[in-house]
Amino acid sequence: MNALSLVSHHLCPFVQRAAIVLGEKGIAFDRINVDLSEKPEWFLKKSPTGKVPLLIASRPDGGEAVLFETTVICEFLEESQEGTPMHPSNAFDRARDRAWAEYISSMYADVWLMLNANDMEVFESKKTIFRAKIRQIEGEVSSGPYFNGKFFSMVDAAMAPLSRFFDCLPADRTSVFFEYAPKIEKWRQTLRSRPSVAAAVGADYAVRFREQLSRQHALILQ
């Protein structure tokens, strides 16, 4: 058993972000997947929001610490664990990264609705929002390989699970979302091959993801 456990769900992009940070820091951890459609009692007792991820750790006095909210979990790992820092050392640059990680994080709810949409009006309205946000990010991302240039940061960890959604779908369906965003297209290729990103999901992730969309009769697959 490892000192840290990540309470997870196979498809959750927020869980992936925490797993990527753990991977970047080289920390071994246990992953405990829960069924979010039938949440176990022990999970509801531990999670104030009923959401994953949770990070379960031991305090120095031996007591259990249960952390929730992805950003908080990632910041805790950054502050408490050894390994290469994932934030810039300059406070202004750090603030900028936190803001863009938050910007990307706030896109997930709409992206999920867009990808699962079986109603054309919902799909089109979410697509318009998504493309506008992608263009904003295009104006901020470095020319590579990562958001800030050479080093992999919290912004990269925030973006990678979002990018992965589109990696699991036929290219002819997804290119429209990244039109006029050549730097993001390049960034997405780099993210996909980062070992921590690849290891953040199970081998069956793409199949599970497409099954989820099929169950919803998602327009993106039709």
Ligand X SMILES: N[C@@H](CCC(=O)N[C@@H](CS)C(=O)NCC(=O)O)C(=O)O
Sign of CA dihedral 161, 165, 170, 172: negative
Least Å from the CB of residue 142 to ligand X? 25
Least Å from the CB of residue 9 to ligand X? 5
Measured from the CB atom, the residue of 186 and 202 that comes closer to ligand X is 202
Contact 191, 156 (CB under 8 A): yes
SS3 content of the chain, % helix, strand, coil (to 5): 55, 10, 35
Least Å from the CB of residue 181 to ligand X? 25
Residue 69 binds ligand X, judged by CB under 6 A? yes
Residues 22-51 that bind ligand X (CB under 6 A): 36, 50-51
Residue 160: which of 31, 6, 15 has the closest Cα? 15
Measured from the CB atom, the residue of 8 and 148 that comes closer to ligand X is 8
Residue 200 binds ligand X, judged by CB under 6 A? no
Least Å from the CB of residue 32 to ligand X? 13
84 is written with which tokens?
């290469």
The burial class, CB within 10 Å (0-12 / 13-18 / 19+), for 186 is: middle
Q: What residues make contact with ligand X under the rule CB under 6 A?
A: 9, 12, 14, 36, 50-53, 69-70
